[in-house]
């Protein structure tokens, strides 16, 4: 059942909440991406300039409506050099500058993965510049990666060859049962049809295969304290906002939930000061100045990120 709403002569309550969004080709109002419930069952939780995050009162998923149509999101946001190396606000502007710090975080992720699968072929979906692949390879896995950005995939092709591809699961045509594990870090919140996506993961996983997903947690204390200033409210990219219960619901037909935990990430002083400045500019600048005074400018911290890590196993 489609979760897109048919046009009517009367505007819906979401259209009334976001009247500045044109009924044009780029944006669409939608019902719940997880259970398919109508927008009439949604409760508006956070209103932004062009869109709102709403909560489905049937399954409790928090999702974005209106949202940018997926084809435009791919063309105008993901497949651009600035998404993984610019300061325009869409992407991850420090990836190339802070490789060693991101790899510390991925070392933590591999340690969790090895509790459930300690060898084999692992696919990192949304692999970006392949930093998790580097770390997984160093721990004895055969790492593969897929990303929608030609920019980052082409940069790593000389090292990874056919193990890194540009595209989606629809275009990659991986063989059934090919992978022993699949990882996706800050990826599932970008997915427009979570249940269908979980079914695709099951198809390319070997029996007993593992999925490990990290995603912003709507139930986190950080989100509750920061409200609309939460960094993970990223419009138009983040179309779903999960909790432990709703991510389990997305995987329930094909997977068994094995483990969840709250996670952090390793950060530099510059990264932390930028994030703090997003909340309160004076706090960010004061933090950076204090770090310089006390000789901590080159230190890294493993700080709470407000994210959830979930590990699933493919059902027989």
The predicted model gives 7-17 an average pLDDT of: 49
Q: Options 3.40.1170.10, 3.40.50.300, 3.40.50.150, 3.90.1410.10; which CATH number does 74-314 get?
A: 3.40.50.150
The predicted pLDDT at position 285 comes to: 64
The predicted pLDDT at position 292 comes to: 61
pLDDT above 60 for 47: yes
**Sheet with 300-314, edge to edge strand ranges:** 164-166, 141-147, 120-125, 179-185, 205-216, 300-314, 255-268
pLDDT above 80 for 89: no
Which residues in 60-90 are b (16+ Cβ under 10 Å) and which e? Answer: bbbbbbbbbbbeebeeebbbbeebbbeeeeb
> Hey, where are the domains in the chain?
13-68, 74-314
The predicted pLDDT at position 8 comes to: 39
For the stretch 162-195, pLDDT in tens is 999 999 999 999 999 999 999 999 999 999 999 9
Q: Which position has the higher pLDDT, 121 or 285?
A: 121
The predicted pLDDT at position 304 comes to: 86
């Amino acid at each position: 059942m489609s979760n897109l709403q048919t046009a009517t002569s009367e505007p819906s309550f979401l259209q009334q909440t976001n009247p500045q969004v044109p009924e044009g080709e780029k944006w669409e109002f939608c019902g719940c991406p997880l259970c398919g419930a109508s927008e009439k069952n949604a409760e508006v939780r956070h209103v932004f300039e062009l869109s709102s995050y709403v909560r489905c009162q049937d399954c409790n998923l928090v999702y974005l409506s209106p949202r940018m149509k997926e084809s435009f999101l791919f063309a105008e946001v993901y497949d651009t050099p600035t998404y993984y190396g610019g300061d325009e606000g869409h992407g991850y502007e420090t990836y190339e500058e802070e490789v060693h710090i991101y790899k510390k975080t991925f070392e933590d992720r591999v340690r969790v993965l090895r509790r459930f699968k300690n060898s084999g072929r692992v696919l990192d979906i949304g692999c970006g510049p392949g930093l998790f692949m580097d770390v997984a390879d160093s721990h004895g896995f055969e790492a593969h990666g897929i990303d929608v950005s030609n920019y980052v995939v082409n940069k790593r092709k000389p090292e990874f060859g056919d193990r890194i591809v540009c595209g989606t699961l629809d275009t990659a045509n991986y063989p059934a049962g090919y992978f022993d594990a699949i990882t996706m870090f800050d990826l599932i919140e970008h997915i427009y049809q979570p249940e269908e996506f979980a079914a695709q993961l099951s198809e390319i996983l070997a029996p007993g295969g593992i999925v490990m997903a990290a995603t912003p947690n709507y139930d986190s204390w950080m989100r509750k304290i920061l409200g609309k200033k939460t960094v993970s409210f990223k419009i138009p990219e983040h179309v779903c906002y999960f909790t432990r219960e709703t991510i389990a619901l997305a995987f329930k037909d094909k997977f068994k939930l094995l483990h969840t935990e709250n996670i952090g990430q390793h950060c530099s002083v510059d990264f932390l000061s930028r994030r703090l400045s997003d909340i309160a500019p004076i706090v960010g600048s004061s933090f950076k100045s204090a770090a310089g005074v006390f000789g901590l400018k080159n230190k890294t911290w493993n700080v709470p990120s407000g994210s959830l890590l979930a590990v699933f196993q493919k059902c027989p």
